[in-house]
A and B are shown apart, each in its own frame.
Chain A
């Protein structure tokens, strides 16, 4: 378990403020955020490399706030791997093992075991120079895991490998996590990775946690326009909420969301300036208008189609740009083309107001 209580960190001119987060034992949490949001600094603070101005760090109920990095019992995998260039692969992996990571007895077994698990056995006696990015990544992972840490910190571990290798490594990492039961905290700027890997996500923005929760929660219900835009929810529209039936004061209430060139029927909880978040897959496209339970029907023009395998993104103009996503099969069925007039419909409840 990792528990951060009201962490304040300052490194140079950069601040992390009021960081509180709990990763349960054996959990897999991801910290996502744009470049410069403080993700790496947060990991360094947890590892004990960056001095805290305030707050406490707990690991499995032990307060480690004042412990030096070597006594925190954690593994750290850096974005640029940082393998020791003067040692072989074997000695890199064995570095953190007792007895100088030599090849004797248990140490040798642990090195062989990890090498086999990560498919790098043939590399064991090679120097670091000349390894590919993916190979270095595996060695870095094996090196961090060798001393059996109970906590693993990963700083964008897949940023520097090609997409195919990334997918394989992701799957292996998740398997390793389940096998070794390590509480894992990973930093990424890729929300897709968070959806695939994490039990818990925290979105970091300018040194603060903007939102945390399960990936599904954060994806479904972003709590701010920033989070919605950052995780790529699709349509984030600025506007104002008004009550449809004035006088009633029920919550939630049926309302109207007014934005530039667009009015939507919504279910709202408060009035005033707001952002409407509409996920592209919640917008249904049809060629002719037909009455259904959806409250919002808009006529629009297809601007551009963006085919991405099984799903096609449709860029539309309804007086303002909107994006819908439909299966590529139905795009074929409707023979969608740029310039076509289509009807967009979506439920009032599919509009998430933040």
Chain B
């Protein structure tokens, strides 16, 4: 307990209005935080768009390859982040088949913003998918059948019953995925060092100018993380808290 609270408290105590004000006047820091929030949001939206339907299938249907797909979705969790970064670099780099095709459409990853989004998507999608999957599992499938007998098509039963009931769980999973994206460092540092997201900015300041230069940015990132944590806690239904 102390081991968790101690360091965080030590960092928070440095968050005087003075340091925060200084930090927010730092244009480079402001830019990197804005970049982080934009890319993390993009990655989360992408993950939700692709991951929520997949999560529904995994929760409700049994089909050949169910376990394999489940396994593939969970795989990124066990891969060390720099390894993920190297793999993504090899896959999306300009000299790779996929990367060269995408580059022709103007989509460049290495040292570009899409690279940040790709790395964030890779590490955060599993969190969103498993959160959404559990949320769907928590909704009684019979409710959809009832809705069908009351005149709903499969789609409107999903939209009017299952989605609202799973909504909080999906939202909580999305916020966790978003937070995971915000905190990602290992794979982004390999794929896209510049432009710098907040975690890389902190690392950069620390290596170039030492501890005092890194602290204000670290405090702000910590505050963002704490806010997310509180939000997820509030979203979880009481009986599961």
Contact = CB atoms under 8 A, between A and B. Distances in A.
A76 B149 contact: yes
A95 B149 contact: no
A69 B143 contact: no
Contacts of B149: 47, 69-70, 72, 74-76, 144
Interface string B149-168: 11111100000110011000
B79 to A, nearest CB: 37
A156 to B, nearest CB: 14
Contacts, number: 51
Most chain-B CB neighbours within 10 Å: which of A44, A75, A82? A82
B7 to A, nearest CB: 41
B240 to A, nearest CB: 15
Contacts of B145: 44, 47, 49, 69, 76, 82
A70 B152 contact: yes
Contacts of B104: none
Interface in A38-93: 44, 47-49, 68-70, 72, 74-76, 78, 80, 82, 84-86
A82 B143 CA distance: 6
A157 interface: no
A208 interface: no
A40 to B, nearest CB: 11
Given A80-B142, A82-B140, A147 B151 contact: yes
B221 to A, nearest CB: 36
B94 interface: no
Nearest to B148: A69
A255 B181 CA distance: 88
Contacts of A24: none
A68 B142 contact: no
B165 A70 contact: no
A82 B147 CA distance: 10
B148 A70 contact: yes
B142 A96 contact: no
Interface residues of B, number: 17
B42 to A, nearest CB: 30
B155 to A, nearest CB: 11
A49 B148 contact: yes
Contact of A84 (B151, B153, B154, B161): B161
Most chain-A CB neighbours within 10 Å: which of B150, B151, B161? B150
A281 B152 CA distance: 51
Contacts of A96: 150-151
Contact of A68 (B143, B148, B160): B148
Contacts of B165: 85-86
B146 interface: yes
Contacts of B150: 70, 75, 95-96, 143-144, 147
A11 to B, nearest CB: 13
B146 A70 contact: no
Contacts of B147: 84, 95
Contact of A86 (B142, B153, B164): B164
Contacts of A48: 148
Nearest to B153: A70
A76 B142 CA distance: 11
Nearest to B139: A85
A85 B151 CA distance: 18
A141 to B, nearest CB: 13
Contacts of B164: 86
Contacts of A44: 145
B138 to A, nearest CB: 11
B171 to A, nearest CB: 14
A235 B147 CA distance: 45
A84 B68 CA distance: 33
A140 to B, nearest CB: 9
A47 B146 CA distance: 10
Contacts of A147: 150-151
Nearest to B154: A68
Given A84-B161, A85-B165, A86-B165, A78 B142 contact: yes
Contacts of B146: 76, 78, 82, 84
Nearest to B156: A70
A143 B151 CA distance: 12
B45 to A, nearest CB: 24
Contacts of B154: 68
A222 B147 CA distance: 39
Interface string B31-72: 000000000000000000000000000000000000000000
Contacts of A86: 161, 164-165
15 contacts: A68-B154, A70-B149, A70-B150, A74-B149, A75-B150, A76-B149, A78-B142, A82-B140, A82-B142, A82-B143, A82-B145, A82-B146, A84-B147, A95-B150, A96-B151
Interface of B: 140, 142-143, 145-154, 160-161, 164-165
Given A69-B149, A70-B152, A144-B149, 18 more contacts: A44-B145, A47-B145, A47-B149, A49-B145, A69-B145, A69-B148, A70-B148, A70-B149, A70-B151, A70-B153, A72-B149, A76-B145, A76-B146, A78-B142, A82-B140, A86-B164, A96-B151, A144-B150
Interface of A: 44, 47-49, 68-70, 72, 74-76, 78, 80, 82, 84-86, 95-96, 143-144, 147
